[in-house]
Chain A
Amino acid sequence: MRSPFLPYLWLAGVILVSLLAGKARAQEDPGKAKIGKIEVTVYFATDGDPEAAGERAEEVSTSTRERLQRESRLKFSHYRALGADKQDILRSYENWAQPLKPSDEILVRFETRTQPTADSVSLDLELWLARKKILKTDALLRDGRPLFVLGPEWRGGRLIISVALAR
């Protein structure tokens, strides 16, 4: 014979499951929502021997070289890509890019200032070199318009840190 209160037990079970599911949802932090991406790339720029960057460093494309050379302050004879890191922009939290991982010689800390639009984002951005905060700025990154930071000297050249919106 079927128990008369069996439907209520089913109901109780459903309620219990919904309570647990609701609790799990409440534990998800909406501030960790990913609202965009940035890509940080480090270039080695030099008028000397580009091989100083090491054999594994890759020569950049012609278009990249021409773009950098069009700006007199960034103009060098040779450019090599040393590393890149793409990281999420979080709604309420900071995030870090480590383009030369696992080395922490160059780090970029970033945090959104406003809700990103389809083609731009305003960031609080910090550049850390050798574990010291060297630069702090509020950068407005637009799609296709990166931020270039002409950074420290190294092996007869300079490092250029590019921060750009990414897909």
Chain B
Amino acid sequence: MNTNPDETHLALWLDDELEGTELAEMDAWAAEKPDQLAAREELRSFRAMMMENVPASIEPPFPDFFLSRVNQGIRDIRLAEEKAVAPVAAPARSFWRSWLMPAAACAGMVFAFGIGKQNREPAQKLAVVPSLAPAVYTPEEGVDAEWFSSSNAGATVIVLQGVSAIPDSTDFSETVYVPTARESDRVADSGIKETNQGKQ
């Protein structure tokens, strides 16, 4: 194998998952790379240690993903060491894959977003704009509701007609949470204060 293997093949080789021609090619590639051979041996030792200490009947959590992340960590450490020794020796292909391709993808997404934004109908609304007069619906038969905006009270008002009275026997004083005077008046007071401030 004259060229460097991709990450998938390298991970499979480190995990002893390759067979046949692919294994032979990887072995040939790694024959001159003692660090890769050492990494594989280290992983084999790690797997052997895990098999000795973890009962066979209990699977370690996410074994495939777990080992692949360990392999990735090993490769990252090695890559960092190589860069520290020869920072300008990074191959052009690696640069293209790691930086230029994601950058090109991002640029493409931004371009597509811009095109879509320009082609959108000018009158299209992004958010629901509530009307000033709300829809009022009374599902109970015989109940009507009248909506109006009260400038005097500084509030929106809905008057219900035809709704059944609450029996006088219903005693809220036994169950109700009674707010303090400050709490109970805060809702109505706040609007008055702000209205007065606005007039001043």
Contact = CB atoms under 8 A, between A and B. Distances in A.
A66 B193 CA distance: 13
Interface string A56-83: 1111110110111011011000000111
Interface in B90-121: none
A113 B128 contact: yes
Given A8-B73, A85-B177, A39 B187 contact: yes
A11 B69 CA distance: 9
Contacts of A143: 190, 194
Contact of A73 (B154, B157, B180, B193): B157
Given A60-B188, A64-B189, A137-B147, A8 B155 contact: no
A22 interface: no
A148 B173 CA distance: 22
A101 interface: yes
Contact of A151 (B163, B184, B192): B163
A115 B158 CA distance: 24
Contacts of B6: none
Contacts of B138: 134-136
- The interface residues of chain B, by DSSP majority, are classed as mixed
Nearest to A155: B168
A135 B192 CA distance: 27
A134 B191 contact: no
A15 B153 contact: no
A146 B188 contact: yes
> In the complex, which of the residues B156, B160, B187 has the most CB atoms of chain A within 10 Å of its own CB atom?
B187
Interface residues of B, number: 65
Interface in B109-139: 127-128, 130, 132, 134-139
A137 B134 contact: yes
A81 B178 CA distance: 7
Interface in B144-162: 145, 147, 150, 152-160
B179 A83 contact: yes
Interface of A: 4-5, 8, 11-12, 15-16, 19, 39, 41, 53-61, 63-64, 66-68, 70-71, 73-74, 81-85, 100-103, 105, 113-115, 122, 129-130, 132-140, 143-155, 159, 162, 164, 166
The 5 closest A-B pairs by CB, nearest first: A54-B173, A81-B184, A144-B191, A71-B153, A64-B188
11 contacts: A64-B185, A71-B150, A83-B176, A102-B175, A115-B127, A130-B166, A135-B158, A140-B156, A149-B157, A162-B187, A162-B188
